[in-house]
Structure 1
Amino acid sequence: ETFALIGHSTGCQNSIHFIKHGDNEIVKRTKAIALQAPVSDREHAMLEPNYEENVQYARSLRDDGKGEEMMPRSAFWAPITASRFLSLQDLGGSDDFFSSDLDDDELKQRLSHIGKWGQANNARLLAAFSGQDEYVPSSVNKERLLQRLCGAMNGGSNDGSNIASPLMIEKGNHNLSCGDDSAVFVAAVAKIIDDVFPPQVS
């Protein structure tokens, strides 16, 4: 059996993490990944007025060996431990894959394993970014960021293969809930699946 993954928002981080740390046999059988809204939790959180205070508090809990203690309700929209909070919202946290303020080398350190996975397993990845994503700061050049993310992923292939392909959905929001944006994404996913799972000839 072979598999395809689709990750939305934080699910994009999960997919990237899985390819590096997941069960080796299942990773080999994963032939396609689609990332929809691979955005930075940290950059969005940095717009909040209590961001620095929350991060400092989470760091203090972690440094005191209390990383599994819960953060205050005001710090996050859902119950969350200090360690998980830092993975999402601290600079260089374990989920900090897609931030625009990371330089090219930092992005490559976090993402180049995608190119190695794709080359080794004849696999492909689609990265779909929304031009009107409400969780991305307005100061971020989304088109440029998408190209940099794909470039970092492809940097892991030693033959220049384009394992990761970009898709910019210009008018799309974070969850593609308007117009025919979701249909555009589904069509792109169908194409990449057709590429890696060719129809069986009977």
Structure 2
Amino acid sequence: MGSTTPTHLPSFPGILHQYDPRLIAFEFAGSSGKTASSCKDRHLLLFVGGLGDGLVTVPYVPKLVEPLDKLGWGVIQVHTQSSYIGWGTGSLVRDDEDLHKAVEFFAHLGGSEYNTRKIVLMGHSTGSQNVLYYLSQSSLDNHLAAAIAQASVSDREGCYNTVGIDETHKLLAWVQNEYIDKNLGDDVLPRSKISHVMGDTPISANRFMDLVSVRGRDDFFSTDLTSDDFAKTFGSLKPITGTCKYSQLALFMSEKDEFLSKDVDRGELVRRFQQAIRPQSSNSVFSGVIPGATHNVGNSSEPGALEWLIEHVVEVLRHL
């Protein structure tokens, strides 16, 4: 029998935290040796991925560890119930509850309080929807010093780019008639009907409508949305609980994002988002387009893309 050479993938030292009886988060170890547990004034970047993401599936996350460690910040990737394939039967509300549990856990780990440890939430792709929901629509407390949205693209328009607008609308009408109107929104849709759109992930009718319908619950970043639509998200940021201050919000769009139509002006889209932010004092001066970056700033990105992202994340944190 032939033999295959094993693929040598990296290992990542760190601490696995259980922030809820069924939920975990991984704290990457930096060379300083400082951790959230051992250093009560250690500031923290909590990272949440997009649809299908789990630990280290977004390649730039481990690359943030050393630059942020030098700055006095730790990097923690948060698993929610929506990680990997869990997103298909989840919702932004459920994600928000999980993320608030994580913020609460890490804010007090080591005996710290909210007013001594800064926490920043960074979302990639659909994780950007988690970020914006947290800041603008959540009914729960806000204790974030800042938030970062990277690759905030529209899942609805991604569906248009995959199967076309007409086919998308046909699917939406079918789901509405066969599931939503019959109070079967929590039922999982047959793979034979939607796998060409959503892949092999089991997805409920409700989640499909949230992601794909016009002004659905997840429809935050579509290019055809109006200023009135953006006013309900970017324009409705809530203050940090117990203060008159607001979280900073930084937006990082990828120039070569493969999930965004090529005819979309990335810079103009970021400017539209920024113009909608209220209060304007939340508008980070470090927002912008990552030159040559793919959706997740992976290996197909042009030289310098990763360095740009790291530099700008560092600057966001440095100026808090």
Which category describes the TM-score, using the shorter chain as reference length?
A: 0.7 to 0.9
Please report the RMSD computed on the Cα atoms of aligned residues, expressed in angstroms. 1.9
- Counterpart of 2:82? none
Alignment partner of 2:239 out of 117, 121, 125: 117
Identical pairs, percent:
26
Alignment partner of 1:163 out of 268, 275, 283: 283
The offset of 1:181, in angstroms, is 1.5
- Counterpart of 2:15? none
Q: Distance in 2 between matches of 1:174 and 1:120?
A: 35
Distance 1:13 1:136, change over 3 A: same
Distance 1:5 1:23, change over 3 A: same
- Counterpart of 1:144? 268
Matches within 5 A, 1:8-157: 8-19=124-135, 20-21=137-138, 23-24=140-141, 27=142, 29-47=143-161, 48-49=163-164, 50-60=167-177, 61-73=179-191, 74-75=193-194, 76-77=198-199, 78-114=201-237, 116-117=238-239, 120-153=244-277, 156-157=278-279
Note if contact 2:291-2:304 (Cα within 8 Å) is conserved in structure 1: no
Q: Which runs of 5+ in 2 are unaligned?
A: 1-113
Q: Distance in 2 between matches of 1:141 and 1:109?
A: 23
What per-residue deviation string (whole Å, max 9, x for no partner) do you get for residues 132-164 of structure 1? 1110112322211111011112xx21xx42524
Secondary structure at the aligned position of 1:5 is classed as strand
The offset of 1:99, in angstroms, is 0.7
- Counterpart of 1:174? 295
- Counterpart of 1:200? none
Q: Distance in 2 between matches of 1:122 and 1:21?
A: 14
Distance 1:167 1:117, change over 3 A: farther
Q: Distance in 2 between matches of 1:56 and 1:172?
A: 36
Q: Distance in 2 between matches of 1:121 and 1:144?
A: 28
Amino acid paired to 1:194: R
Larger RCO (alpha carbons 8 Å, 6+ apart): 1
Note if contact 2:145-2:248 (Cα within 8 Å) is conserved in structure 1: yes
Task: Please give the TM-score of this superposition, normalised by the length of structure 2.
Answer: 0.55
Q: Distance in 2 between matches of 1:32 and 1:132?
A: 26
The structure with more radius of gyration: 2
Note if contact 1:68-1:82 (Cα within 8 Å) is conserved in structure 2: yes
Secondary structure at the aligned position of 2:251 is classed as strand
Distance 1:30 1:131, change over 3 A: same
Secondary structure at the aligned position of 2:146 is classed as strand
Note if contact 2:267-2:288 (Cα within 8 Å) is conserved in structure 1: no
Secondary structure at the aligned position of 1:30 is classed as coil
Query: 4+ residue runs of structure 1 moved beyond 2 angstroms?
Result: 116-123, 160-166
Greater fraction helix: 1
Note if contact 1:123-1:163 (Cα within 8 Å) is conserved in structure 2: no
The offset of 1:70, in angstroms, is 1.1
Q: Distance in 2 between matches of 1:148 and 1:91?
A: 19
Amino acid paired to 2:153: V
The offset of 1:53, in angstroms, is 2.2
Secondary structure at the aligned position of 1:4 is classed as strand
Amino acid paired to 2:159: A
The offset of 1:122, in angstroms, is 4.2
Distance 1:122 1:14, change over 3 A: closer
What per-residue deviation string (whole Å, max 9, x for no partner) do you get for residues 61-101 of structure 1? 11211101112224122111010111111000011111110
In terms of mean alpha carbon deviation, does 35-44 or 49-58 score higher? 49-58
What per-residue deviation string (whole Å, max 9, x for no partner) do you get for residues 117-144 of structure 1? 3794342111000111110112322211
Secondary structure at the aligned position of 1:94 is classed as coil
Secondary structure at the aligned position of 1:127 is classed as strand
